[in-house]
Amino acid sequence: MRKELFALTVVFLIFVAFPASLWGYQAWRTNAGDTRVIALTANAPATGGWVPDTIRVNVGERVRLRISSPDVAHGFEVPTLGIRVDEILPGHVEEIEFTATRAGRFPFACTRWCSVDHWRMRGTILVVDPANPNPPLPTFAPPLYQQLKVDIDAMHPTQNTPTQKPSAARGALLGIAIADDLRMKSPSDVFTKLRADAMLRSYTDLQLWDATALAWKRTAGDTALARGQKLYARDCAACHGESGQGDGPAGRNLPGMRAMDATMRKGPADFTDAAQMLGASDVLLQGKLLRGGMGTGMPEWRSLYTDEEMWNVISFLRSFVFDYP
């Protein structure tokens, strides 16, 4: 009988104590120390996206996010808190610790093209100050396109298009000075103004376009262009295509502007379309980036990009119609 009891005890341990110890270990790992562990699952958007998609933490609280992915590789970034994990491989668990020092809403997003709906994969970290749990909502100045009443949904093609791609390098040889604030104006506006200038009568149209291209490149600067290119590759290229033609793999089934106007192009905007791009001011492009596409499939980037990042991307977009060496 004692033998039987021993054998039974061992089997009992295997069936009950062994599993209990596994869960015990996991609970200990989660609760040990004064760091709060929060599990975050990165599902592809079609199967639920971030779970949970809202994470509440307190100001000053030490938090460890334990991020895992059940399906494909994802990335994680909270731009406004400056934390990120570049790669969360399926079945791996990535951990990242942070302490939020100020209250607010901090959007996070997947940074890998994990699926067609990748851009929907967003969430928010809600940082609450326990002493002041309901602070007044911060007020923001309305974005430029609203201040200037630019209709970002209106078409903006220009009649003036250059016969070949304007080149900043050729423009540099001309010595034409442009004093305008380029953010507010479209390249076509600037060209028209130059063309109307009697002093510049001896220059050909193309030369004036070259000068315009140079002006845009100078205003942007090389650092901004490089940063813009990186962001474009990470966030835009999947839909708008590597070459900007609106032919990225993830953009194939998007309605595009046709969602608003039946006569319009289907799918993502083509940044190599000179008439549209030269007719658009930076402010207008910023509006589109900020707000997103109202059913066209274009996500909003306001919550993830800083102002500067937004301008960087816009500067880079110009390189699809301007030849920047």
Partner 1 sequence: MTDTRLDLTRIPIIKKILASRWLQWSLVAGTLPFFVLAILTGLFGTPAGNRNFGIVFVWIVWWGLLMLVMVPFAGRFWCAVCPIPAPGEWLQRRSLVQVHERGKLFTLGLKWPRQLNNIWLQSAAFLIVALFAKVILTTPFVSAVTVLIFAGIAIATSLLFERRTFCRYICPVGGFIGLYSQVAPIEVRVKDHALCATHHDKACYIGSEKGYGCPWLIFPATLDKNTNCGLCTECLKTCTLDNIALSVRPFGKDLLTNKGRRLDEAYRSLMMLAGAPLYTIVFLGPWAEIKEAAYAIASPGWWLYALGLLALTLVVVPGIFFACVALSKFIARTKASSRQFFVEYATALLPLGLGAWASFSLSFVLVNISYAWQVISDPFGWGWNLFGTANWQWTPYLAGWQAYMQIPILLIGLVAAIAIAFRTTGEQRGSSQAALPIVAFCVAFTLVMVGLNF
Residue 15 or 130: which CB sits closer to partner 1? 15
Q: Rule CB under 8 A: is residue 180 a binding residue for partner 1?
A: no
Tell which one of 28, 34, 91, 101 touches partner 1 (CB under 8 A). 91
Q: Rule CB under 8 A: is residue 138 a binding residue for partner 1?
A: no
Cα(120)–Cα(116) distance, integer angstroms = 9
Tokens of 172: 């540099």
DSSP 129: -
Cα(2)–Cα(305) distance, integer angstroms = 70
Rounded to a whole number of angstroms, the distance between the first and last alpha carbons of the chain is 89
Q: Rule CB under 8 A: is residue 70 a binding residue for partner 1?
A: yes
Q: Are 246 and 268 in contact, with CB atoms under 8 Å apart?
A: yes
Q: Rule CB under 8 A: is residue 12 a binding residue for partner 1?
A: no
Length reported for the chain = 325
Q: Rule CB under 8 A: is residue 29 a binding residue for partner 1?
A: yes
Closest CA to 99 of 147, 54, 65: 65
Q: Rule CB under 8 A: is residue 17 a binding residue for partner 1?
A: no
Tell which one of 24, 60, 90, 221 touches partner 1 (CB under 8 A). 90
Stretch of 6-14, 125-133, 144-152, 178-186 contacting partner 1, by CB under 8 A: 6-14
Q: Rule CB under 8 A: is residue 93 a binding residue for partner 1?
A: yes
Cα(15)–Cα(37) distance, integer angstroms = 28
> Exposed (0-12), middle (13-18) or buried (19+): which is 37, by Cβ within 10 Å?
middle
Stretch of 66-74, 104-112, 161-169, 269-277 contacting partner 1, by CB under 8 A: 66-74
Q: Rule CB under 8 A: is residue 18 a binding residue for partner 1?
A: yes
Q: Rule CB under 8 A: is residue 19 a binding residue for partner 1?
A: yes
Residue 11 or 169: which CB sits closer to partner 1? 11
The count of residues interacting with partner 1 (CB under 8 A) is 25
Residue 112 or 240: which CB sits closer to partner 1? 112
Tell which one of 61, 71, 153, 180 touches partner 1 (CB under 8 A). 71
The amino acid occupying position 187 is P
Cα(145)–Cα(125) distance, integer angstroms = 28
Q: Are 165 and 289 in contact, with CB atoms under 8 Å apart?
A: no
258-297 residues near partner 1, rule: CB under 8 A: none
The amino acid occupying position 200 is L
Q: Which residues of this chain interact with partner 1, rule CB under 8 A?
A: 3-4, 7-8, 10-11, 14-15, 18-19, 22, 25-26, 29, 66, 68-71, 90-95
